[in-house]
Amino acid sequence: MKRLLGVTVTASLLAACASPLPHQYACEDGQMFGAMVMSDYALIHINDAEYELPRIRSASGAQYELEDGSVGLYTKGDDAMLVVGDLSFRECTLSR
């Protein structure tokens, strides 16, 4: 019984490691990414990579982007779009 409990706890911890960030977004193409949005930056976790994006001025919603523009997160309410290099993840919605 103790061994089974240990295996169950370990499996639960490994499952939680998929993305250490509290918010998960699901995109129209099936891609998912994790995000933690703060007032002046956002942490993004996608495909085993993490990015810290500073917030930039936005007329509507919130924008977080690296200085070189290679990675950007654009949110409004529960909707988001993530750009990583040449890849765009559109129509992403906060999973609940």
- pLDDT (0 to 100) of residue 35: 96
Domain with residue 65: its CATH number is 2.40.128
Average pLDDT score over residue span 33-47: 95
Number of domains in the chain: 1
Residue 4 forms part of a structural domain:
no
pLDDT of residue 19: 60
Tell me, what's the pLDDT at 96? 76
Residue 9 lies in a domain: no
pLDDT confidence bin for 8, thresholds 50/70/90? very low
70 domain-assigned: yes
Average pLDDT, the chain: 84
Per the structure, the complete domain to which residue 79 belongs is given by 23-95
Does residue 46 belong to any structural domain of this protein?
A: yes
Nearest by Cα to 46 from 32, 27, 30? 32
In a domain, 1, yes or no: no
Has residue 12 got a pLDDT over 70? Answer: no
Q: Has this prediction a pTM greater than 0.85?
A: no
Domain contains 47:
yes
The residue that leads in pLDDT, 11 or 62, is: 62
Position 30, amino acid: G
pLDDT at 20 over 90: no
Calpha distance 63→93 (Å, rounded): 16
CB burial string 29-47: b at 16+ within 10 A, e below: eeebbbbebeeeebbbbbe
Residue 10 lies in a domain: no
In angstroms, the CA 31 to CA 46 distance is: 9
In a domain, 65, yes or no: yes
pLDDT score recorded for residue 21: 80
